[in-house]
Amino acid sequence: MSAFRLLCLMALLGSAVPAALAAAENYRYSGPYTHGSLSIFLVHGNPSTNDKNYQTLSQAMKKNRVKVYETGSVGQLAIENVSDHPVYIQAGDIVKGGRQDRVLSTDMILPAKSGRIPIESFCVESSRWSKRGAEDDRHFSASTKRLVSKKQRLAAKLYKNQSSVWEHVAKLQQDIGSRINTEVKDKRSASSLQLTLENKNLLESVQSFTKAFSDLPNKHADAIGFAYAINGELNSADIYGSNRLFRKQWPRLLEAAATETIASKTQPAAKPPAIPQVQQWLADADRAQAKSRVIEKTTAIETREATDNVRFDTIDAHSRQLIHKNYISKK
């Protein structure tokens, strides 16, 4: 990181650069761990010295500690933490219900007793703008799924393009249906990504990946993230400030990676990349120019866009700790 960028980040956060951010070169890697055409590489690092034990959005909504409100605007919802503990929201989290299922398009640290706060969103259900069944269209009931494909994540996180989100939701539904030879568009709302990801036949296909990989973070106390490749091509990586937060996020991250693998074209499994290739892929985005912004005074987001991939950093603006890094391939 250049001296200029260090100064900019210091000004943004009001103090020194997070230690976890500066120590990125100290990461270690293991793998590949391969099942079918999905290859996973674990990222190992030193545990955070300031692990706040964030609740995830899924955990918090399940326990009614976080409420997500419909606003009548596709691009913005309202969210409230009614608990005494901070909640970590990760871009790509889908909330179910309201007038349309939405995906939250930015990472955010939601403080305890936050009051209602606006949060960016995109629609992942294009054909509904009304109550669905017995659901409450004023609120969202749960967050159990995530965006699946890298193209969906790029459309929501980087390009901020609603039409592109819809396009890649429809493409994923088509690809999954073709690969597992099952109609995965739900009759209750054919355009809903959430309902597609709840499809019983799809979940049965995902199970083989879950059995192969579900215990990986538990077997490595210093594992703080992972990168993965599908059919030999590097796809995405998620790295956290602690093993605990990584373990909390892992089931949904794994399900999303498995689902994208299932949706991919059938072909003989390509040889997975070697660890030096993974390191080089991550380094390409690390060298890109950084752009920073602050969300609700709690969260600093830094984006580095390279030619072939992009990196997003999420930093706690108060503790100055790195919470999450996300890399996505643009190819």
Q: Do residue 129 and residue 216 come from a single domain?
A: no
51 pLDDT higher than 80? no
Which parts of 181-239 fold into alpha helices (H)? 193-197, 200-213, 216-219
Domain stop point among 154, 185, 204: 204
Would you place residue 4 in the very low, low, confident or very high pLDDT band (cuts 50, 70, 90)? very low
The pLDDT score that the predictor gives to residue 319 is 87
Residues 41 and 95 in one domain: no
Question: What residue ranges in 98-184 does DSSP mark as E strands?
Answer: 102-104, 108-110, 117-123, 140-142
Instruction: Kindly state whether residues 133 and 75 are assigned to the same domain.
Output: yes
One domain, residues 139 and 243: no
Residues 119 and 13 grouped into a single domain = no
Is a pLDDT exceeding 50 seen at residue 20?
Answer: no
Q: What is the pLDDT of residue 299?
A: 97
Reported as a single tens digit per residue, the pLDDT across 182-205 is: 999 999 999 999 999 999 999 999
Q: What is the pLDDT of residue 9?
A: 46
**Does the pLDDT of residue 3 top 60, yes or no?**
no
DSSP 8-state code for residue 245: H
Q: Which two tokens stand for residue 176?
A: 């999954």
Secondary structure letter of residue 25 according to DSSP: G
Average pLDDT over residues 243-269: 92
Same domain, yes or no: 193 and 249: no
Q: What is the C-alpha separation between 307 and 237, in angstroms, rounded?
A: 17
b/e sequence 296-309, b meaning 16+ C-beta within 10 Å: eebbbbbbbbbeeb
Instruction: For residue 152, give its domain range.
Output: 55-204
Among candidate residues 233, 209, 235, 213, the one with its CA nearest the CA of residue 223: 213
Note the pLDDT of residue 265: 78
Lowest-pLDDT range, 69-83, 113-127, 224-238, 254-268? Answer: 254-268
Q: What is the percent of the chain where pLDDT is above 90? A: 87
For residue range 104-154, list pLDDT tens digits in order: 999 999 999 999 999 999 999 999 999 999 999 999 999 999 999 999 999
In the chain, how many domains are there?
2
Nearest CA among 312, 280, 274, 314 for reference residue 294: 314
How far apart CA 58 and CA 250 sit, in angstroms, is 12
Model confidence at 321: pLDDT above 70: yes
Give me the amino acid identity at 34: T
The pLDDT of residue 6: 40
Provide the pLDDT confidence category of residue 294 given band limits of 50, 70 and 90: very high
**Last residue within a domain, chosen from 204, 225, 260:** 204
Is 61 in the same domain as 175? yes
What's phi and psi for 95, nearest 5 deg?
-110, 135
Average pLDDT over residues 263-283: 90
* Most confident of the ranges 3-7, 163-167, 321-325: 163-167
Which pLDDT belongs to residue 307? 96
165 and 231 together in one domain: no
Per-residue pLDDT tens for 81-103? 999 999 999 999 999 999 999 99
What is the share, in percent, of the chain residues with pLDDT greater than 70?
91
Same domain, 114 and 60: yes
pLDDT of residue 13: 45
Average pLDDT over residues 284-294: 96
Q: Examine the domain organization and report whether 101 and 155 are in the same domain.
A: yes
Q: What is the mean pLDDT of residues 23-41?
A: 88
Tokens coding 306: 């390279």
Q: Are 194 and 234 found together in one domain?
A: no
- Asked if residue 143 and residue 196 are part of one domain, the reply reads yes
Provide mean pLDDT across the span 150-174: 98
The whole-number pLDDT of residue 26 equals: 83
Q: Considering 204, 225, 253, which residue would you say is the last residue of a domain?
A: 204
With tokens 């995902």, the residue in question is 206
